[in-house]
Every structure is written in C-alpha cells, then in structure tokens.
C-alpha cells in the first residue's frame, strides 16, 4: 500500500485526480465539524518537514507510471492541512519534471498570511481554499481553528496571494444545515469570496460521515439559495461518480489505501472488488477486514460507507499495518 499517494479517484472538481498526502494523518490547524477524517486531536500551527521530498516525489512518479499517466490532476491535499508541510513547494516543483498535467492544491486557506506559503502555492495551476464562513463566529464554529487563526487573517492572506498568482483560485463552500446555510450567512460568504477574487465557486455538502454526528447536509432549498447568492456557484453537493483506478494489482490493498483518506460507498467498493471476486466473496472480505480492524462500517443518512478506523476508536490505525496516508 502507498504511504503518500492514492488514486486516481474521481473528483468533482479535478476530474481523475491522483491525491498526494504531504502531511501525516490529521496534521491540521483546524478541527472542522464536517471533516470525513474525524476530529483533530492535536491542533498544529507551525510548519515542519513531515515527509522526505524525494520519497513523496518518487511515489508520485511510480503511481503515475502505474496508471499510465491517465490522470487530469496531481492534487496535493493531505489528511490534514498540506501547507503545514514546509517542503510542499519542493515536492510540487520536482513533480513538474515528469508531470505536464494539472497541479492542484486543496487547502483550508488559513496559512496564506505567510509569504513563504504564498510563494509555495505559486507552484500550482489551481489553488482551492475552503471559504465556508464570512463572519468570525461562523468561522470558529465550522472549523474550530487554532486560536492564532482568524477569518480576517485568512482572507487578507488569500487576497494578497491573488494579486500575484497567475493561476486560478477555486473557492469551496461547505454548507452545513443550520450553521452557515441561511441567507445572512450566504451573503457574508459571498463578500468573502469576492474579496479573494476567486475564479470559480463550488458549493459542497457533507456527503460522507462527518466528525460530528449532528452535522447534516443542507436542505435542497438552501443549496438552491446558495447557487443563487454565491458568485458563479456550481453545485457539488451530489455524490461523486466515476472509476477509482487502482495503482496496486491487489484490489484489497487498493481499497484500504483509498479508505484511509476517502470513505467509500458500498457501490464503490463493489466496483473495485467485483473484477476479481464474487458477491459472496466480497461480503466475506469486507467482514474479515472489519474484524481485523482494518476497516469500519459507518452509516451516514441512508448510505453505508467503509473507512479506515479513526484514532480514538477501539480500532486504531496501527492495527491495520503500515500507515496509508
């Protein structure tokens, strides 16, 4: 299984996206209520070199070779906040030597007050920050950030970045029912998006099990309101579709790698395993992985997901073998 790379996976923004994790699991300065990877147990605020540049880049190269370079984007995202990796720019720059496709950065946007982070982000074609609040109270309720971060600090950093960045900024607006989906909240989010000069706006909703069980996706009427209020908004609230291409010849290793960063629906699991196993065998495999502590089953709404057990549960990530960041 891969340590730093997963996919390509179908992305509603980036097409066929090869995901890159430059930081260890839940290395983040936020603990977002909607995060599909659970709560952040130890909030970080300082940048470090968490993974050797050469190892990450070598894995990107080998993963692209394994999928015959059939990807639209190499997307640095992480199981936390990727800009906390001090060598993120070095990784992206080295990848340019063998990859001529798109390069994306999915970020919470919090670190762009730093000139070093702004310089690092210049390596990418697309930078996609989360803009899920337009006022400080909602910002803190949604993201539960490290105390040193504020909404104003984030927006000022992104606006400064916009002034010199030749690529595109794609704002992602994650909507949570009853938290930031009112007309007042949406109007303040609109102002925030305009202040950073975003080229595109994507309206998203929690479609996988969130960190907090009380978090719910917005009602359809709230989504439609957001599409009307937010500038050039595009609907990204529907489940993703498309093939989860394997870079491992072992489909079981493939689903474990993806599930570590991206909870999988049953239909997505079946699409991967049915190529080699019967329906009865798939049931036995999944039950076995759950018993071994390598997967857990989680229902969210009407949908059943399979994901890596989260830290703090009875099934630790260590019980699953090597980390699959």
pLDDT value at position 244? 60
Residue-number span of the structural domain to which 215 is assigned: 5-236
Q: Answer yes or no: do 139 and 190 share one domain.
A: yes
Residues 289 and 170 occupy one common structural domain? no
Residue 244: inside a domain: no
- Report the C-alpha gap between 283 and 299 in whole angstroms: 17
Lowest mean pLDDT among 54-58, 120-124, 142-146, 294-298: 294-298
**Mean of the per-residue pLDDT values for the chain?**
89
The reply to whether 325 falls in a domain is no
Structural domain tally of the chain?
2
Of 291 and 157, more confident? 157
Residue-level length of the chain: 325
pLDDT computed for residue 178 by the predictor = 97
Asked whether residue 307 carries a pLDDT value surpassing 60, the answer given is yes
How many C-beta atoms lie closer than 10 Å to residue 292's C-beta?
Answer: 12
Greater model confidence, 34 or 41 = 34
Task: Establish if 114 belongs to a structural domain.
Answer: yes
What pLDDT is stored for residue 243 in this prediction? 60
E-state strands within 2-148: 5-11, 15-20, 73-76, 102-107, 126-129
- The answer to whether the pTM exceeds 0.75 is yes
When pLDDT is cut at 50, 70 and 90, the band that residue 268 belongs to is: confident
Residue 294 sits in the same domain as residue 193: no
Within a 10 A sphere around the Cβ of 93, how many other Cβ atoms?
16
Q: Are residues 76 and 203 in the same domain?
A: yes
Least confident of 76-85, 195-204, 303-312: 303-312
> Using one digit for the tens of pLDDT, what is the confidence trace for 211-247?
999 999 999 999 999 999 999 999 999 876 656 655 5
CB 125 within 8 A of CB 104: yes
pLDDT in tens, 123-142: 999 999 999 999 999 999 99
Q: What is the pLDDT of residues 163-190, one digit of tens each?
A: 999 999 999 999 999 999 999 999 999 9
Residue 315 pLDDT grade (very low, low, confident, very high; cuts 50, 70, 90): very low
Cβ atoms 324, 257 nearer than 8 A: yes
Residues 228 and 80 in one domain: yes
- What percent of the chain shows pLDDT beyond 70? 92
**% of the chain exceeding 90 in pLDDT:** 61
Residue 322 scores a pLDDT above 60:
no
How do residues 200-216 score in pLDDT, each as one tens digit? 999 999 988 999 999 99
Per-residue pLDDT band for 75 (boundaries 50, 70, 90) equals very high
Angle between helix axes 151-162 and 136-143 (nearest 10 degrees) is: 100
User: Among 202, 197, 195, 132, which residue's Cα sits nearest to residue 169?
Assistant: 197
In a domain, 242, yes or no: no
Find the mean pLDDT for residues 285-304: 86
For residue 153, pLDDT beyond 50: yes
Q: 147 with 193, same domain?
A: yes
Instruction: Verify that 128 and 72 share a domain, yes or no.
Output: yes
Residue predicted with more confidence, 267 or 141: 141
Q: pLDDT confidence of 259, banded at 50, 70, 90?
A: confident
pLDDT at 9: 83
Answer whether 245's CB lies under 8 Å from 8's CB.
yes
pLDDT given for residue 311 in this prediction = 64
Q: Is residue 106 part of a domain?
A: yes
Question: Rounded mean pLDDT of 131-154?
Answer: 96
What is the model's pLDDT at position 47? Answer: 95
- Using omega within 30 degrees of 0 as the cis cutoff, is the peptide bond preceding 8 cis? yes
Q: Residue 20 belongs to a domain with what CATH number?
A: 3.20.20.70
Region label for 245, one of left (φ > 0), alpha (ψ between -120 and 50) or beta (otherwise): beta
Q: What angle do CA 23, 9, 255 make, to 5 degrees?
A: 80
């Amino acid at each position: 299984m891969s340590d730093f790379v997963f996919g390509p996976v179908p992305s509603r923004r980036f097409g066929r996206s090869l995901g890159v994790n430059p930081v260890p699991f839940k290395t983040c300065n936020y603990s977002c209520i909607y995060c599909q990877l659970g709560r952040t147990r130890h909030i970080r605020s300082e940048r470090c070199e968490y993974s050797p540049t050469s190892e990450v880049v070598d894995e990107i190269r080998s993963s692209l070779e394994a999928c015959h370079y059939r990807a639209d984007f190499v997307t640095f995202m992480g199981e936390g906040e990727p800009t906390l990796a001090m060598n993120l720019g070095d990784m992206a720059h080295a990848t340019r030597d063998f990859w001529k496709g798109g390069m994306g950065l999915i970020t919470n946007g919090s670190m762009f007050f730093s000139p070093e982070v702004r310089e690092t982000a210049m390596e990418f074609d697309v930078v996609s920050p989360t803009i899920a609040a337009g006022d400080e109270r909602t910002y803190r309720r949604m993201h539960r950030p490290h105390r040193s971060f504020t909404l104003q600090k984030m927006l000022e950093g992104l606006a400064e970045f916009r002034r010199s960045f030749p690529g595109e900024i794609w704002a992602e607006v994650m909507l949570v029912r009853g938290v930031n989906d009112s007309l007042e909240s949406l109007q303040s989010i609109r102002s925030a998006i305009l202040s950073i000069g975003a080229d595109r706006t994507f309206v998203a909703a929690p479609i996988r099990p969130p960190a907090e069980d009380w978090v719910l996706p917005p009602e359809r009427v709230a989504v439609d309101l957001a599409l009307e209020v937010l500038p050039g908004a595009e609907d990204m609230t529907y489940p993703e579709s498309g093939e989860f291409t394997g870079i491992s010849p072992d489909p079981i290793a493939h689903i474990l790698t993806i599930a570590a960063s991206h909870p999988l629906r049953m239909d997505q699991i079946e699409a991967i395993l049915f190529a080699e196993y019967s329906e009865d065998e798939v049931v036995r495999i999944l039950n076995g992985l759950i018993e071994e502590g390598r997967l857990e089953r989680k229902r969210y709404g009407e949908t059943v997901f399979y994901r890596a057990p989260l830290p703090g549960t009875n099934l630790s990530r260590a019980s699953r073998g090597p980390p699959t960041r």
